[in-house]
Structure 1
Amino acid sequence: MNERIYLDHNATAPVRPEARSALLEALDTTGNGSSVHGEGRAARAVMDLARARVAALVEGDPAGVVFTSGGTEANASALTPDYRRGEEPLALDVLITSAVEHAAVLRGHRFPAERVEVLPVDARGRLRLEALDAALARHAEAGHRALVSLMLANNETGVIQPVAEAAQRAHAHGALMHTDAVQAAGRMPASMAALGVDLMSISAHKIGGAPGAGALVIADPDLRPAPLLPGGGQERGRRGGTENVPAIAAFGAAAVSARASLESEQIRIAALRARLESALRCEFPELVLLVGDVDRLPNTSCLSLPGVPAETMVIALDLAGLAVSAGSACSSGKVAASHVLAAMGVPERIARSAFRLSFGWSSGEDDAHRALGAFRRVMPGLLRRRAA
């Protein structure tokens, strides 16, 4: 078989060479970062460097970086009704979120179900800000303090959400603002200060780090969500458990690389995506490009061949040497109708056939051309099957 083409960076990115080197070097750091002996201090130094590097990626405060096992844990850590600011309790009454969030937000929060409000999106998949305004005003009038959680970029469509505008509205009503930036960080500017968010979730393996590390970044280090994993004093008491020093070191190295190349990579990757989308739409007009006319991540395409189940397309392309995804990659291999596309009002016939291409740092100049070749090999058979 010819060398495969990997266009599934939104599921996970290949490990960057810098991250691999940092991980292997950290494996030789024997100490526990909570220990006071020399080996423990060496491990602590590795984590402190990574903490500063991860904070720099999102223009946050290193003291506010809480290392986790990944983006899912970071989200669950943030989405709790129990906070403190310094020594003072800060109880939250309601979680307000959108209908297109990742399952780690929609199902991973710690609020009782009756205290969660899910807001609609428009046909392009963007939060309806007027619905947010109404929800915030209603809860403020009732004396409720809210936590708003809105992803920065969607994992299935790449659509960029109006997080800065939502944060302004949230703060005007005394609410806290969290954003799931797992797909956005390292692929587009994701400055906590510019967005005005209080909390941000990010993940290492999406930017070319190793699986097993993520972070909840808190703008004000005195703001403390109740620990999801209480235990020892690790992460300043904000997340119990011995830290995964090798994965954290790789996270820091990947953050440096992603930050250094962010502007040039946005341009390069967007050009690769545009080239492939243009060719596919020209040669196969039966393909539907979803959300092509809205701001989205430069690497992400969401397409559909109505009448052909998404899993059929994914398997056919896989056999042709091209790796793509259908829906979210966090569903244990199961392909179901996308809740994201359903919330956008996409007809079920199109939604059930939707699949995703996502470029990334390892995508080369010829990947778009070779991916087009894979489509040329499989599309005639798929179109015949659809006609039958």
Structure 2
Amino acid sequence: MFLSEGQLFRDEMEHPCFILTRTNSSQTRTLSFFLGGFPAWETTQMWSAVPLCSTYLLALLGNLTVLSIIKAERSLHTPMYLLLAMLAVADLGLSTSTYPTMLRMLWLEAREISFGTCLAQMFFIHTFTDIESAVILAMAFDRYVAICHPLRYSSILTNSVTTKICVAIVVRTTLVQLPLPILLTRLCFTRVSKLSHPYCLHPDIIKHAGSGTRVNSIYGLFVLLSTLGLDLLFVFLSYLLILKTILNIATWRERLKVLNTCISHICAVLLFFIPMICLSMMHRFSKHVSPQAYVFTANIHFLAPPILNPIVYSMKTKPIRRRILRMLCQRGLHRSRVAICQ
């Protein structure tokens, strides 16, 4: 027995979960999400876009400057700076995965995002986050070898070994993150759901699924513990060994001199992992935490490191600081010459 078109449409709209609705001659309706944000954005969208765009440009400028300096200076083609270059690439990827969506939402008032675009954004955000976590761990290993085994540093950490570490980081992250969007396509969703963040994250998406999410939740927890959790544990162990070596040094001046070589990396660790730990605690005690505080902490976790990492490393790393000052002086001298000629 055949159903009429009106009956089919009513049955389809009443179905509790679906990914694609019917297609007719005029339009195609697809599953989509509405991006969330700060409550203040509702009334100050244009004003909020100005500092947000400025911070995005600052993140791009800072990380591209670090990359260009490391590429131009052959003396910086060493394991430490190769890892710093990969950290800058991860920061560029993370900021490019988050900021454009937020700016589009503020400037164009376009909160709706399609299911496929949301999955792609989620994949890249989590991928670049895991890459940054693994690079921070590799940099901790670099500091451990440099301080605890200084005479063997050049033989343990060669450029070839560093390159293999970087390749292993990308392969590990891709293999671990790839199943996340695939598993999400197997779930049923309501037609339109409002997310908590101004970008797509895996824990936020699965909250709106209309079917069982046990497999997704278990695998998401496995990914979190096997990447960010394991990286944080090994970073902590590395610094315990570094601290033990530093305490064995005779004078306080020498201890502070050795510790000063770790300041930039310690800042990167704190910038990345403290908001992540706060997010985990907020998720555990979500009933006692306001949604605004949760969203704010998530934004700090994903948006702050791409801005602050190049600033910290530019201030604390002498070769990069000197090259930036040299570039600024050359530009200032060039402008003064042009002004004199005019």
* TM-score normalised over the length of structure 1: 0.22
More strand as a share of residues: 1
* TM-score of the pair, normalised by structure 2: 0.24
